Amino acid sequence: MMSMYILCNVTTTGFVYVLLLNHFLGSLARPLYPLPSKFNTDKQQLQTFRPFNIAHRGSNGEFPEETAASYVRAIEEGADFLETDILASKDGVLICFHDVILDNTTNVADYKEFSDRQRTYEVQGDNITGWFVVDFTIAELKTLKVKQRYKFRDQQYNGKFSIITFEEFISIALDAPRVVGIYPEIKNPVFINQHVKWLGGKRFEDIFVDILLRNGYKGPYMSDDWLKQPVFMQSFAPTSLVYASKLIDSPKILLIDDSYWEITSESYFEYIKEYVVGIGPWKDTVWTPMDLPQVHPYTYRNENQFLHFDFHQDPYAEYEFWINQMGVDGLFTDFTGSLHRYQEWTSFAAAPNASAADRLLHRISLLIDAYRGK
């Protein structure tokens, strides 16, 4: 990526700040998910002085979700953590993919050889029909191409990228020019354990943790080991987090959706906080402050259809509310760049490692806001 900042003194009363951003993918010049660099050990450390910028399925507001391009872009845009959903192929390879069916975000329907693979399975109490991830080998999954989930987002990258494995995802994070954490989800563990079998009676959670440990992820939240390779493990399934806690000491986050009120008793939270360091609540759910160090709501999106009227269709107003009024510790966003820009504009003065140039740009942005009467 090539970035250029230009300051122009155009009047005697102030400055005009112009940011020119020219981005080149360079996908033909280098692999999309290179192996981790072995020599770049002196990296800029993870920032911990402000809420974490969590790239929800990568920078999927621009690129198709959970692809190498989406994660590379999120790193370029300033993500602190790369979030991904982990499922398993028929032959037991862990992949980065959100839905248990391939229908919504791949071109599987275009493959005549897979036309007989449609099935109907029960998933979390509902019967779902489609092409299921667990009925395809990793080799077959790699032949598919990923597409944008939402029709109102940019469609130009449809069909250009493949499904990636959990190992490839980790390689992207480890190869970043600075320390970038990972935030993988144990996705639909009951369903996966029903349909995929591993040698030795291992289960989905065992394989998930084995990959983390093999790649050097370990240590409690904010420990030296954790700061070198930050990771949050997440799941909607508390039983999976409890099971995984016996295998690895990395911090765990309990995700909470619109069934929140069913599991919010004080006794339940007293039990679960022995195993997790925080919660990831759906942002439209009213949540009660807990005695946990981390609260990471999801999902923040820039489009009008996802923004409440309270924020006047302004994603920055939404960030302002959740960060400064609600006091959250991290945010899952589809638009990593917009959250990063908001935090840079509002927190340079507090940043312990801010450069003189950064501080100057921050002061200029404040002057411009004041001039506009904001």
Q: Domain of 224? A: 52-336
Tell me whether residue 168 is in a domain. Answer: yes
**Tell me, what amino acid is at 192?**
I
Comparing 328 with 358, the larger pLDDT belongs to 328
pLDDT over 90 for what percent of the chain? 70
Local confidence band at 14 (pLDDT 50, 70, 90 cut-offs): very low
pTM: 0.84
Backbone angles phi, psi at 21, to 5 degrees: -120, 115
Count of structural domains within the chain: 1
pLDDT per residue as tens digits for the range 203-223 = 999 999 999 999 999 999 999
Element (H, E) at 194: helix 189-195
Residue 26 pLDDT > 80 = no
CB 117 within 8 A of CB 135: yes
Q: What is the pLDDT of residue 349?
A: 53
CATH code of the domain in which 318 resides: 3.20.20.190
Comparing 130 with 262, the larger pLDDT belongs to 130
pLDDT per residue as tens digits for the range 169-180 = 999 999 999 999
Residue 311 pLDDT > 60 = yes
d(CA 81, CA 256) in angstroms, rounded, equals 19
Both tokens of 265, joined, read 């008793």
**Least-confidence region, from 64-78, 202-216, 225-239, 262-276:** 262-276
**Least-confidence region, from 62-71, 98-107, 230-239, 268-277:** 268-277
Tell me whether residue 122 is in a domain. Answer: yes
pLDDT per residue as tens digits for the range 108-137 = 999 999 999 999 999 999 999 999 999 999
pLDDT over 70 for what percent of the chain? 79
CB 162 within 8 A of CB 144: yes
Tell me whether residue 349 is in a domain. Answer: no
Tell me whether residue 107 is in a domain. Answer: yes
Tell me whether residue 44 is in a domain. Answer: no
Q: In Å, how far are 93, 135, 143 from 138, measured between CA atoms?
A: 6, 10, 9
Q: What is the pLDDT of residue 136?
A: 98
Q: What is the pLDDT of residue 307?
A: 83
**Residue 275: CB partners within 8 Å, gap ≥ 6?**
238, 241, 242, 245, 252
Tell me whether residue 314 is in a domain. Answer: yes
Decide: helix, strand or coil at residue 239.
Answer: helix
Comparing 42 with 47, the larger pLDDT belongs to 47
Q: In Å, how far are 23, 124, 211, 308 from 202, measured between CA atoms?
A: 44, 22, 13, 44
Residue 198 pLDDT > 80 = yes
Residue 39 pLDDT > 50 = no
Residue 363 pLDDT > 90 = no
Tell me whether residue 2 is in a domain. Answer: no
Tell me whether residue 120 is in a domain. Answer: yes
